[in-house]
Homo-oligomer: A and B are copies of this chain.
Amino acid sequence: MSAHTDFVQASDKYAQGFTKGHLKAPPAKKLAIVTCMDARIDPAAHLGLQEGDAHIIRNAGGAAKDALRSLIISQRLLGTREIALFHHTDCGMLTFSSQHLHSILKSQTKVDPETIDKIDFLEFGDLEEAVKSDVKWLKENPLVLEETKVTGWVYEVETGKVRQVA
């Protein structure tokens, strides 16, 4: 049984009590969240966000570089003016190197090794340093609006708490 077979039933249940059909695209809080794809994280729940409040961009690690295309659209076309970037404890990105994943892909696929070697998986070695470095990168990026409020956070998967580190 595939996981997606439950989607229609869950969605019908959600739709029965749905009162958000009037919302427009621009986020009410003018806020964009960047966080990890990690299955243990429910950003709306742990940050108290409702439908309509904020853009939520998620990728492996909560990497700022990987979020840039989305952030440009969020700011220039949909009016957000604040970015909160989260990484989290026990993140997979702390446990491997791009080189290691390149060698897995070379052994498991027929893709040309040069193409594989070009993929930067954006792993990191120190959690708080990675948050600070991503916040700095966003603040200095000329494609990000200069007036943007950028903050950096750690989410603790063990406790459900957040702490601000930048």
Contact = CB atoms under 8 A, between A and B. Distances in A.
Contacts of A31: 3-4
B96 A37 contact: no
Contact of A101 (B12, B76, B82, B111): B76
A68 B119 CA distance: 10
Nearest to A67: B59
Interface string A107-125: 0111100000001111000
A161 B11 contact: yes
A37 B162 CA distance: 21
Nearest to A33: B37
Contact of A149 (B2, B9, B39, B122): B2
Contact of A74 (B23, B37, B74): B37
Nearest to A91: B25
A25 B92 contact: yes
A157 interface: yes
Contacts of A39: 23, 25-28, 51-56
Interface of A: 2-4, 6-15, 18, 20-21, 23, 25-32, 37-42, 44-49, 51-60, 66-67, 69-70, 72-74, 76-78, 82, 84, 90-93, 95-96, 101, 104-105, 108-111, 119-122, 142-143, 149, 151, 153, 157-162, 164
